[in-house]
């Protein structure tokens, strides 16, 4: 491989780290850790939305004027969930979770897509 091509590959690989990884967040890899740090606590987003992942596998909360509901399971180091707004399904996904203090970052598509940040209350 030519030196210039090698530098481009290295730059692309370096840019593939998530924002959470770059900011020294810790990955939540087990259901036990998820239950310890997140379950039954209210998560808030920057727009005033809330979400609770209940210990029984349910999801509840509010987004704008809509009611959030659904269910979750832990599968292969990821939080997998089905979410509904006012009864209409809006998302089914498995996300990688990262934590630092009271901040949670969820990265969609098992860590291969966009991130969303939440504050643990």
Q: What DSSP string runs through the chain? A: --HHHHHHHHHHHHTTS-HHHHTTPEEE-SHHHHHHHTTTSEEE-TTS-EEEE-TTSEEEEEETTEEEEEEEEEETTEEEEEEEETTEEEEEEEEEEEEETTEEEEEHHHHTS-EEEEEE-
Question: Mean pLDDT score of the chain, rounded to an integer?
Answer: 86
6 pLDDT higher than 70: no
pTM assigned to the model: 0.80
Q: Lowest mean pLDDT of 10-19, 52-61, 63-72, name the range.
A: 10-19
């Amino acid at each position: 491989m030519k030196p210039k091509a090698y530098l481009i590959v290295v730059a692309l690989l370096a840019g593939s780290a998530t924002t959470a990884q770059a900011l020294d967040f810790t990955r939540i890899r087990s259901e036990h850790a998820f239950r310890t740090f997140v379950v039954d606590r209210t998560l808030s987003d920057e727009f005033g939305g809330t979400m609770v992942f209940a210990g029984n596998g349910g999801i509840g909360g509010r987004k704008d004027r809509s009611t959030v509901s659904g269910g979750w399971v832990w599968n292969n180091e990821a939080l997998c969930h089905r979410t509904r707004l006012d009864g209409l399904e809006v998302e089914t996904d498995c996300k990688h979770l990262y934590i630092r203090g009271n901040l949670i970052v969820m990265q969609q598509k098992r860590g291969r897509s966009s991130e969303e940040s939440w504050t643990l209350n």
